[in-house]
Amino acid sequence: MKPPFIGLIAQEQSQNAYQVQAVKLGIGIKTLSKEMSGSDLIEFAKECDLLYVDPAIISTSAIKTAEKSGIRIYPTSKTIEELAKITSHSGEGERLSVLVARSAHAQAASWPITLLSNELCITPLPGISDEIAQEIQISVLKLAAEVGLVGGFELIVDAVEYKKLIGINWMTPTTNYWTQIGSVTNFYEQNLRAVLDLPLGSTELLSKYVVTGALETDQNSDDYRPYLHLMARNPRLKFDQSIKQVAVAGDDLEELLTEIIHAQQYYSGKIVE
């Protein structure tokens, strides 16, 4: 049996992550990040078994043109149009991130809820009851089924009134990095499994907590200099320069927050040690 070949259109910062997971799964993939007309999309789809595209890059009309030509493409235009009917709100203050993936045969999975606070992400959401967490995740999984989602997305909702939708990120979620170091199956691998209609992986946490933080380059230095001090201070820190993130996983949330905030401050030059 010949392995499938996927054409993927996503933001540049996530293309490498999808390519790495495609290699691990043993499937073919080609990627782009530019806007395309329907005819260009049809041309791009040649030799591909399916297309997986970011609706923030490819218009719904272009997706419809590809669908009419017989191309299998996700998300479908119907899914995008159904989600567009949901009222979104402006977001200020703390927000929640809920990641979900769903396959064509309706197998679905969600990850633990993440708290977005300033330049930090904390997973799972601290202080939430199991009952409320389950209620939020069930509502998101139900929405994914109602709109016929195939693939994955991230819903950003208000931290106080979680039924208020703030935004949707399709293939490059705000909280993508934590799943790469703190989950049995990361968001990118799960997305590929979903569009290929493979059994979905476990989204179980590998540690009690994962904390990630955005990095800001020191104007008087570079992105490499901080490694020596920060890696020596805490060998458990993980860095991804492609998305300017630092992360750490463990059981003591207060300690993890202290380490990430220190890393951010040292990296940016706000403190010198």
Here the tokens at position 252 are 């003591």
Q: What's the rounded Cα separation, in Å, for the pair 269 and 259?
A: 15
* pLDDT tens, residue by residue, 232-270: 999 999 999 989 999 999 999 999 999 999 999 999 999
Could you tell me the two tokens for 156? 């950003």
In this structure, the number of other CB atoms found within 10 A of the CB of residue 86 comes to 11
pTM, whole model, 2 decimals? 0.94
Q: Which domain holds residue 76?
A: 5-80
Give the single-character DSSP code of 49: S
Position 187 in a domain: no
- Output the six-digit token pair for 195: 């569009």
Task: Give the helix/strand (H/E) hosting 191.
Answer: helix 187-195
- Residue found by looking up tokens 């040649």 in the block: 46
Looking at the structure of the chain, the number of domains it has is 2
Q: Is 225 exposed, middle or buried (0-12, 13-18, 19+ CB in 10 A)?
A: middle
- Residue 150: pLDDT above 90? yes
Model confidence pLDDT, tens digit, residues 198-226:
999 999 999 999 999 999 999 888 889 89
Whether 6 has a pLDDT exceeding 80, the answer reads yes
Written as six digits, the tokens of 220 are: 């008087």
Q: Among 21-25, 123-127, 239-243, 256-260, where is mean pLDDT lowest?
A: 239-243
Residue 236 resides in a domain? yes
pLDDT at 91 over 90: no
* Angle in degrees, 0-180, between the axes of helices 77-84 and 60-68, rounded to the nearest 10: 150
> Is residue 159 in a domain?
no
In this structure, is residue 260 part of a structural domain?
yes
